[in-house]
């Protein structure tokens, strides 16, 4: 009985080889050669991407994506050569891709957002930005997320899908950022003297840019004070240093000149 089974299997294999042998051999040759060609194409694509201005991570992804697409096409071609229904195979691959896409919908949205971030470059590493309600410096840009470092040294990871679906404020697009301060002085104080003092504080700071020059002027006549706006420009990485140093030195300069910074007050009149 066992000999009969072995003979039956052997006969089946011989018939299979006789019938499909040339096709199987040709399919094997196409598979081996095709894999080698795909490797060459991947290297060419990687070299072309390297000569572009795309991010390194995006370059690697595009080369790998092209490789997978070529391999799927190669499998379909080889399957057709051995007699399989390629239409059915393509339908199965499409259905599997659709199922995976639905299961990973959120992940794919972040993935697509990462591709758009790397292609359109609304910000780059080192920029001071605000997105999704968070302000900070861009420390890393990945396919699925972007990492920010906030001024208080917190690390915030934001999904790229949310980034591309929201507003992006880039404070350093031109390589500089403006520091906005509002300082109130008493109504009886000399406005011109105060403005000159505050402008001098900005000009003496080595971290403040000379061009554009610091701007100082009256912005509001408030209830208890005349509010002056102080706007020096600096490099993005110097923002908080300039902000805090300018605030402190403006207060010291006004104190030395005898110019007071008033606090809110209200006059109450009693009627008898």
Question: For 129-157, how does the pLDDT look when each residue is reduced to its tens digit (9 = 90+)?
Answer: 889 888 888 998 888 889 999 878 899 99
- The answer on pLDDT for 242 being more than 80 is yes
Question: For 119-131, how does the pLDDT look when each residue is reduced to its tens digit (9 = 90+)?
Answer: 888 888 888 888 9
- The answer on pLDDT for 16 being more than 60 is no
Please tell me the CATH code under which domain 2-103 is placed: 1.10.287.1260
Q: Which CATH number fits domain 177-256: 3.30.930.10, 3.40.50.10680, 2.40.340.10, 3.30.70.100?
A: 3.30.70.100
Please tell me the CATH code under which domain 123-170 is placed: 2.30.30.60
As a whole number of Å, the CA-based R_g of the chain is 34
CA-closest candidate to residue 230, choices 194, 258, 199, 257: 199
Going by the DSSP 8-state scheme, the letter that residue 236 receives in this structure is G
Largest CA distance in the chain: 126
Q: Helices marked H in 121-215 — which ranges?
A: 160-164, 191-204
Domain boundaries in the chain? Answer: 2-103, 123-170, 177-256
Question: For 66-96, how does the pLDDT look when each residue is reduced to its tens digit (9 = 90+)?
Answer: 888 888 888 878 777 776 776 766 777 677 6
40: region left, alpha or beta (phi > 0 left; psi from -120 to 50 alpha): alpha
Q: Which two tokens stand for residue 222?
A: 């408030």
Task: Judge residue 189's burial from the number of C-beta atoms within 10 Å of its C-beta, 0-12 exposed, 13-18 middle, 19 or more buried.
Answer: buried
Q: Check residue 157 and give its pLDDT.
A: 92
Q: Is it true that 2-103 and 123-170 share their CATH fold?
A: no
Distance CA 109, CA 161 (A): 5
Question: For 42-72, how does the pLDDT look when each residue is reduced to its tens digit (9 = 90+)?
Answer: 888 878 777 776 666 677 777 777 888 888 8
Question: For 164-198, how does the pLDDT look when each residue is reduced to its tens digit (9 = 90+)?
Answer: 888 988 887 777 888 999 999 999 999 999 999 99
Q: Check residue 173 and give its pLDDT.
A: 74
Residue labelled with tokens 């950022």 = 177
- The answer on pLDDT for 205 being more than 80 is yes
Distance CA 104, CA 65 (A): 17
Tally of CB atoms within 10 A around 152: 7
Q: Check residue 150 and give its pLDDT.
A: 87
Return phi, psi of residue 122, to 5°.
-70, -15
């Amino acid at each position: 009985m066992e000999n009969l089974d072995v003979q039956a299997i052997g006969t089946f294999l011989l018939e299979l080889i006789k019938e499909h042998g040339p096709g199987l051999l040709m399919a094997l040759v196409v598979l081996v050669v095709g894999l080698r060609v795909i490797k060459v194409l991947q290297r060419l694509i990687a070299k072309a991407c390297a000569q572009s201005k795309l991010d390194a991570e995006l370059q690697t992804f595009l080369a790998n994506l092209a490789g997978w697409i070529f391999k799927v096409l190669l499998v379909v071609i080889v399957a057709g050569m051995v007699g399989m229904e390629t239409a059915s195979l393509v339908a199965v691959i499409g259905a599997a891709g659709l199922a995976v896409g639905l299961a990973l919908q959120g992940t794919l949205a972040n993935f697509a957002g990462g591709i758009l971030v790397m292609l359109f470059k609304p910000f780059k590493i080192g920029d001071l930005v605000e997105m999704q309600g968070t302000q900070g410096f861009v420390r890393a840009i990945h396919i699925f997320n972007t990492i920010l470092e906030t001024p208080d040294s917190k690390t915030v990871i934001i999904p790229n899908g949310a980034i591309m679906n929201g507003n992006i404020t880039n404070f350093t697009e031109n390589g500089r950022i403006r520091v906005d301060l509002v300082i109130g002085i008493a109504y009886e104080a000399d406005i011109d003297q105060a403005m000159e003092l505050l402008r001098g504080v900005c000009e003496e700071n080595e971290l403040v840019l000379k061009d554009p020059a610091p701007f100082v002027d009256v912005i509001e006549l408030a209830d208890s004070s005349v509010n002056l706006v102080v706007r020096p420009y600096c490099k993005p990485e110097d923002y908080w240093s300039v902000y805090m140093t300018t605030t402190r030195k403006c207060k010291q300069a006004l104190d030395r000149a005898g110019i007071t910074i008033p606090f809110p007050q209200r006059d109450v009149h009693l009627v008898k």
